[in-house]
Amino acid sequence: MKTTPPTSTAPGSVRAEHHERIPIDPTWKPDWSRAKRRLRGWWRGEDLAVSVTAPLDVPRLSLPLPPQPVDARDKWVGRPGRVRRETHRLSRTYLGGECVPVSHTMCIGAGDLAAMLGCGWRFSDPTVWFEPCISDPDHHPPLTLDRGSEAFQTLTQLLRDDIQQAAGRYLTGIPDLVENFDILAALRDPQTLLLDIYDRPGWIEQKIDEINGAFFEAFDHFYELARDDEGGCVFTAFGLWGPGKTAKVQCDACSMFGPDQFKQFVVPALTEQCDWLDYSMYHLDGEECWPNLDLLLAIESLDAIEWTPKLAYANEGGGHPKWYDLYRRIKAAGKSVQAICVKPDEVIPLLDAVGPEGMYIQCHAAREMEAEALLKSVQPYYQASDATP
């Protein structure tokens, strides 16, 4: 049973703002109502969801090329270029099946909560890093959300800009906040934090508890801005929509320590998050994280698990046969599965091997015609009551 710990209450003016700007049916996704129905079924482990993107043969709008960023900072957080580039991209993207029509404007750094707790942003062309800020753990003040920080203010304004730019054509998601041990690793420095496991385990537990409180407060703030009229929202990372408070959760740092430490430091905070959220999906990042899978499957309020193979963006994405047993194991535990970077010709073999129920498959096709052919081929795998295009 989901429970809600006390969190801050966002101002009523924010709630009114999102009602004016987020329609139920984005005009660039005319079958969004059907897609949401299937996504609800996926969360329950009952239905299939297939997201297919491709370049559109004819753009939805004839938009001029947006200005190119002048430097790395401008690329990631520059206004208004950031949101204009997303509109341009989406205007030329086929959004097939259960693809969520969401802007990637809010995909800045994986772990932007760290920059709201004291870390500095460090921008480079391919990614965003965070500068550690806890050098003296014995005297560092408690971790609380800094609403005046550059990250909090910038992401808030970018989200508002994106909602305005979308103009009802697509959705705006919540930033990839990240949580627990991963955020503390950014604040403290990963190698130093690994030593803290032995030198100050109680301090780690206290800081992770503080991080959880900051996560709830930050999530509430962005949720009130971005949620749709039905109370659903999109967590931008992994294009994750749910009919309530929805988020991807993770602990990538667990690849550096064992299940005993995962159980001690991560599971309590992660369980509290999953209890608090209406819909939660864990990002299982690489084979090194597999030793913790049983602990994850035991979290009753965790709804789904996403699998990212180490070579997901090379030649062994989520549709490779070597992952079939993993998907079966997750589904047998009552969790839904998201498989990413699946090639179009891998979709049907994957469905035949593990079954369509509770599978959310994301793939990209080279052409619109190929995407449409794929969607036609998977129609028999949907629930019988929803098997028509």
Residue-wise pLDDT for 115-161, tens only, equals 999 999 999 999 999 999 999 999 999 999 999 999 999 999 999 99
For 314, how many CA atoms within 13 A lie in the half-sphere containing its CB?
Answer: 4
Measured torsion, CA atoms of residues 201, 252, 337, 28, in degrees rounded to the nearest 10: 130
What is the spatial distance between Cα 245 and Cα 43, in angstroms, rounded to a whole number? 13
Closest CA to 237 of 282, 185, 290, 289: 282
By CB atoms closer than 10 A (0-12, 13-18, 19+), residue 97 is buried
Contact 82, 166 (CB under 8 A): no
pLDDT at 377: 98
Quickly count helices (H) and strands (E) in the chain: 14, 11
* SS3 call for 288: helix
In the chain, % of residues over pLDDT 70: 92
Contacts of 244 (CB under 8 A, 6+ apart): 231, 232, 233, 277, 278, 279
pLDDT at 173: 95
Measured torsion, CA atoms of residues 324, 268, 246, 46, in degrees rounded to the nearest 10: 40
Amino acid at 218: A
Residue 19 has pLDDT above 50, yes or no: no
Contact 14, 326 (CB under 8 A): no
DSSP 104: S
Residue 21 has pLDDT above 60, yes or no: no
pLDDT at 311: 78
Amino acid at 85: R
Residue 175 has pLDDT above 50, yes or no: yes
Query: How do residues 248-282 score in pLDDT, each as one tens digit?
Result: 999 999 999 999 999 999 999 999 999 999 999 99
Residue 7 has pLDDT above 50, yes or no: no
pLDDT at 230: 87
- Which two tokens mark 297? 């499957």
* Choice between 314 and 338, residue whose per-residue pLDDT is larger: 338
Query: How do residues 66-108 score in pLDDT, each as one tens digit?
Result: 989 999 999 999 999 999 999 999 999 999 999 999 999 999 9
* SS3 call for 3: coil
Helix then strand then coil, % of the chain, to nearest 5: 45, 15, 40
What does pTM read for this prediction? 0.93
pLDDT at 2: 63
End-to-end alpha carbon distance in the chain: 34
* φ/ψ (deg, to 5) at 246: -130, 135
Residue 24 has pLDDT above 70, yes or no: no
CB atoms inside a 10 Å sphere around CB 271: 16
What is the spatial distance between Cα 201 and Cα 171, in angstroms, rounded to a whole number? 41
What is the spatial distance between Cα 251 and Cα 272, in angstroms, rounded to a whole number? 14
Distances (CA, A) of 17 to 110, 222, 224, 261, 272: 26, 12, 9, 43, 29
What is the spatial distance between Cα 216 and Cα 3, in angstroms, rounded to a whole number? 13
For 147, how many CA atoms within 13 A lie in the half-sphere containing its CB?
Answer: 8
Measured in whole angstroms, the distance separating CA 213 from the mean position of its chain's CA atoms is: 19
Closest CA to 265 of 181, 183, 179: 181
Contact 72, 123 (CB under 8 A): yes
What is the spatial distance between Cα 362 and Cα 105, in angstroms, rounded to a whole number? 20
Average of pLDDT values for 26-35? Answer: 95
Residue 188 has pLDDT above 50, yes or no: yes
Q: In b/e form, how buried is each residue of 336-365, taking b as 16+ CB within 10 angstroms?
A: bbbbbbbebebbeebbeebebbbbbbbbbb
Q: Give residue 8's pLDDT band: very low, low, confident or very high (50, 70, 90).
A: very low
